[in-house]
Amino acid sequence: MIEELLQEAGSRMEGSVETLRDDLRVLRTGRASPALVERLEVEYYGVPTPLNQLASISAPEPRLLAIRPWDPRALAAIERAILASDLGLTPSNDGHIIRLPIPRLTEERRGDLVRLVRNRVEEAKVAVRNVRRDVLNDLRDLQKEGLIPEDDYYRARDELQELTNRFTDRIDDCARAKETEIMEV
């Protein structure tokens, strides 16, 4: 019973870390990355479709993304979606391929991105702590109902705290890596 609760807590905490990684992956750094635009929603024949399902996205140069749609009729829709997004990028269309130059980040923009990373990191930590709180409440209920002895409750509580610390450290590692990537000139 306790092991199941701890396993569930671990998988929920893992989900929080993965969500954070996905969120940080799409943050723009000074380097071109296909992850920057692959989840961008494009209105394709009236249906919002992720860009990675409409085109191949590559980074032929460190500061350039190349988007080659499988259907050339989708070029205009892809271009509109990029312009409407909050990426702040201007696409260049030659009729076959869309080139997306990635400009260098200003120092002010880098600071804004670092603050955004820290906010997302704090949200992930709150999610991990919420999982800990929920499982701790479940353990407390089991102990009050007499389903687990008091020693097992305290042992499980300590294991849960260790699990929480491990996932919080992983979140901090993700944050440090992304901040380093953003601040890299």
Residues carrying CATH 3.30.1360.40, the chain: 34-101
Query: CATH assignment of 2-25+106-183?
Result: 1.10.132.20
- CA distances in angstroms from 60 to 9, 33, 140, 174, listed in the order given: 41, 10, 56, 26
Identify the band that residue 30 occupies on the pLDDT scale cut at 50, 70 and 90: low
Q: Number of C-alpha atoms within 13 angstroms, CB side, residue 159?
A: 16
pLDDT digits (tens, 9 = 90+) for 94-143: 888 999 888 887 888 788 888 889 999 999 999 999 999 999 999 999 88
- CA distances in angstroms from 14 to 11, 70, 115, 144, 170, listed in the order given: 5, 35, 23, 29, 10
Residues carrying CATH 1.10.132.20, the chain: 2-25+106-183
Rounded distance between C-alpha atoms, residue 182 and residue 25, angstroms:
11
pLDDT digits (tens, 9 = 90+) for 44-99: 888 898 888 889 988 888 888 999 999 888 898 999 888 888 777 888 888 889 99
Architecture of domain 34-101: 2-Layer Sandwich (3.30)
